Structure 1
């Protein structure tokens, strides 16, 4: 019946559970709410700090674009880092690694210059970042965290959680921006000790559920501090001194994280709550007999798994309470009812005993009176006992709760105070006190956030006010410059309009000139064509003359041959005449007539010889002149050919000139079209310039409104701070 608890341990717990079984649904809601709110706190906290580093990264990249590089010991970068650390108070350090994994900038100066090459504590995180991914890396042990000191947690050791953001240029990794958070901050986020629902036993802790990046961490290994780590919250057994169980001692040497694995000492296996959460992704168990935790104590609670933004590993969280404390509740009605039953039983015994003792010994009236007196005395004593032990403690507890609520309800309460739960019984008043503490704790956290936000708003408002004033002056200067620019622009627009009109006039003039030039070119082309035809005719005539001269030359070359024959004949005739003269002289008187004939023939022969000579000279002269004429004709032919080529070239030039004129016309038309477009744009620019001027004026009005609004916001913020400051708050709790 009592399972692994046995009778001695199981019987009292079973009885408590049976008395309060009707609270089971409420207990489920309590643990569901605790797990959900703690998970949301973690998620929002991580997202807030990612946005903080994203803002710093954007500022660094913008500054790098302006200055060219992020120089060491740069005062601007130091200011940016300091402002980011002020916004993210949980950061104990913010530092920058360059592309060689060397620390070039840090809020902790002793860290500058350290290089993370080879295998080191953050190697796995750097591998993710160099792929272009953000990485929430850890927890891991880093002595540097211990040397730097705590940020917001009162606990501090070497355990570290590291935010890692890649710096990229053109999609190429150039460095890593890192934010260091002491891991004990996680414990503070999920514990909220001052408002703990189950102050004696309740523990919220994180463990590894599914390692994806940190594969060396086994599932079920602690990733956050346990509230039972030392004597701070548990004045008895603790993990530093060693928690004693029937199956051995559970302890840690330095810290809970990575040292403690949540196993059941009796079995050596993961305790059922953690194992069920890992297996199913969640676990809820609030019934008797609960399950054994790492202390081998019966606990109940809710387990969830989750993945924080940019954390590759899946984490689990258990929100637990001891079964005994959760169901320790005893209702006031039950206590009063039990007193009333005892009082009634005593009254019955008193009257029965009185009747037996007095029956027959004294008169009836005397016995009745005596019993009435005894009953009155017993009733008064019983009523006094019930009032002292029942209603009076309840009344005092309610008065204390009432006084505590009134103190905070009046608006100037001390939110650092809590009800002392040990002064309340395990009844409705104890539950009421416990939840009031939880509510005040939540209210204090909200008021601290409001106070911090109001302070940041006030600082931002002051900066905005300064910036608004500076912007107003700059805007006024810009307005003057824009007004001058618009005036200049309007003058240019007028010039453009004039240029457009001139371009239209020029276009008409060029069209007229083009038409005249086209007509003249057409006439010249016709003349050139006629000249070309004449040149072709001359060419043919010259060629024909050349052929005639060549024929004449051939003929004159034949004449000397004929003259040579004539010369030979003349020589022979002269010889014959000489012979005839000789013969006539020899005959004497009879030969005189023949001698005369012979003389005449000789004279004719000489004349023929002279004529032939003259003819040869004339033919030679003719031939020389014919050759000169032939050479001259050849030169004329060449000149005619050149003239023909010149005519063809002139025709082509005239054609090209006509084409060029057409191109000029096209260019002019394009210029005109362009000027028309410019004119259209000028009209649009007039509208835009007017709109710009109106916009600048509107901007000036907006700046005045912003300036007025910043003043109003400043007043509202100041009022908000005054309201918040009416409450006493623990400023070390703000994060």
Structure 2
């Protein structure tokens, strides 16, 4: 498979251009075909002599020691493998010539893979290309030994082998160059070829422009990124300070909300006390109303009792009048008795001695009549006085009944009015207390929501503060990345590149 050739856009057409340019002629291929037996005889010797110098030179020896250590081989084991590989590489030139001498895509694919392997093991290109000078010296030496009498053939053979060496070094250089492009992430699909006669090695100028453009953009982006990181760090610091202020304000708000909630709870308790007092006042007003009704009933009963007493006093006055009439009758009887006693005394005086006893009786009767009249008079006076007292009492009781009725009615009406006002006020207070309680309950609910919201805001602010810390850390990290990018890109000086190009 010709995977690398396809990737590098190498085909038979553009390989023919290379062979034409280095003048790899059919005569060269014929000579190479003729030299196959010589190559098979001396390939191992040439490879050994080739690595004698490689393992003697300090820089290349140190390189091979590192490779041996990486692969877990001794230096002798590594050299043995290298000599076999190098001999096979050398023989492949002559076998290709003997098998048709095309030196086309399959041959170039094998050479690209050799270059790729050297790039993978990180063999410095100067040592690889420089080793071809030693290679050519060894080839010339072994040719002159093999054909000492034929200098012209040696010259043609040496030229043919060196021409193929040139062809091979192109492939290795292509591998190195394209590996570098691949290592920097170049998208080869972006590289445009004008025709199938060209391969990627023809696009060095185009690739340089792409790389320079990418470097310029990277440098500019790195600078902008660095400045943006600095601005972000500054803005993050300001935001962090602002977040701290906000957090402090929210904490104060939370404390105020807590105090407000406590005050609202106390107010709600006070409103509940007022509401309870309003109910008690309403109940007291109701009890007072009942007491007023009871007082009205008592006043009515008192009025009735006073009226009954007045009636009885009036009745007593009537009885006193009857007694007075009887006293008058007694006085009349006493007067008549006194007159009869007087007449009896007159008649007894006329009777003389015989009428003396009758006169005594008549005197006693007259005295009794006088005492009766005197007693009746006293009784009449007493009855008159008692009638006056009864009349005054009746009048006073009537006035008292009227005053009690009027005063009690007014007092009851006033108390009833006050009680009604109390009831109305208690009802209004109860209603207002209910409204205030509802408002306070809503206020409590809102205060609780406000407190919860403050807590949520506080938590959110703390989370934002933590995020700001993360952003600040990321900003510092971003600034460090930008600084590292600038340091990495500082190795590229596009102005120097441009000046070299101009020179």
TM-score, normalised to structure 2's length?
0.41
More helix, by proportion: 2
Please tell me whether Structure 1 or Structure 2 has the larger radius of gyration of its CA atoms.
2
